[in-house]
Amino acid sequence: MSCGQPHATDCSEVLDKVYLYLDNEIEPTDYEKVRHHLDECGPCLKQYGLDKAVKSVVHRCCGSDRAPDSLRIQVLARIQEVRIEINKVD
């Protein structure tokens, strides 16, 4: 995904790291890159909001912030499929 605007950190790189960012499992230098990018990129901020909502639903349904590994693998695979489909359209 790309919003079409130039950024110091590419949109696809940010979206690949957004779950690590949400979980505070990201390296400090990457955290700053992602935070800065989200501050200036509306489409990525929107995606971040969606990812945050998904995480909230998982917490309510599974009783924790982390989905079971099997569900997490399926969701991440589907996200990757959708990104590939979106990139084909762009």
pLDDT tens-place values along the chain, 90 residues long: 556 677 788 888 888 888 888 888 899 989 999 889 888 888 888 887 877 877 777 777 777 666 678 877 887 788 777 777 767 765
Q: The tokens 């991440």 sit on which residue? A: 76
Encoding tokens for residue 15?
A: 């979206």
Residue 2 counted as domain residue: no
Half-sphere exposure for 16 (CA within 13 Å, toward CB): 10
Residue 76 counted as domain residue: yes
Which stretches does DSSP call E strand in the chain?
none
Note the pLDDT of residue 2: 56
Residue 23 counted as domain residue: yes
Number of domains in the chain: 1
Note the pLDDT of residue 4: 64
Residue 29 counted as domain residue: yes
Q: Are 19 and 52 in contact (CB under 8 A)?
A: no
Biggest CA pair distance of the chain: 40
Domain that holds residue 16: 11-89
Q: Are 11 and 46 in contact (CB under 8 A)?
A: no
